[in-house]
Amino acid sequence: MMHNQMAYMANQAYRGAATSVPPLKAVSMLLGGAITFLQKSLAAQEARRFEEGHEYLMRATAILRGLSHNLDFPNGGTVAEQVFQTYNAMILASLKAFGRPHARANFGRIIAGLAELREAWEFVDTTARGGTAVPADSVRRG
C-alpha cells in the first residue's frame, strides 16, 4: 500500500513540476531530488537506521519510476526506450545495494551516474533555450 502511495506522490510531484517549470528543468530538479534521497538513505544506513534509510530509498526510486513512466515513447523512440532502461537500471541497482556491505561504493556509483545524467539534461536544456552551456568537467575549479 505504501509503495503505491509513494509512486502516486512521485507522479504528482513530476506533473506538478512539469506544469510550473519547463520540462527539462523539472527533470533536472527531480534527478537532484533522487540524488538527495539516495544520499540520505546511505547516511541512515551507515547510522544503522535501516527503516529510515529504506524510506529515503523508496522516495528516490519513486522519483525515478515517475520519470520513467512519463517518457514520451511515441515521439522519443529509441532514446526514450534507452532512458527508460537507464532509470530502471538505477532503480534496481539502488534496491540491490541497500543494506549490503559495499553500499557506500555502490550508492556512490549510482549517485555519480544520476549526477552525470542530471548534468546532461541541464546541458540539453541550456542549449535548447539558445544559451551556451559549458560542460561541467571543462570548468576550472579552485
Q: pLDDT of 43-54, one tens digit each?
A: 999 999 999 999
Q: Answer whether 35's CB lies under 8 Å from 114's CB.
A: yes
pLDDT tier, 139 (very low <50, low <70, confident <90, very high otherwise): very low
Assigned superfamily of 23-129: Flagellar protein FliS (1.20.120.340)
Query: For 68-109, how does the pLDDT look when each residue is reduced to its tens digit (9 = 90+)?
Result: 999 999 999 999 999 999 999 999 999 999 999 999 999 999
pTM: 0.78
Q: Which residues of 33-55 are buried (b: 16+ CB within 10 A; e: fewer)?
A: bbbebbebbbebbeeeeeeebbb
> Domain locations in the chain?
23-129
Residue 102 three-state SS = coil
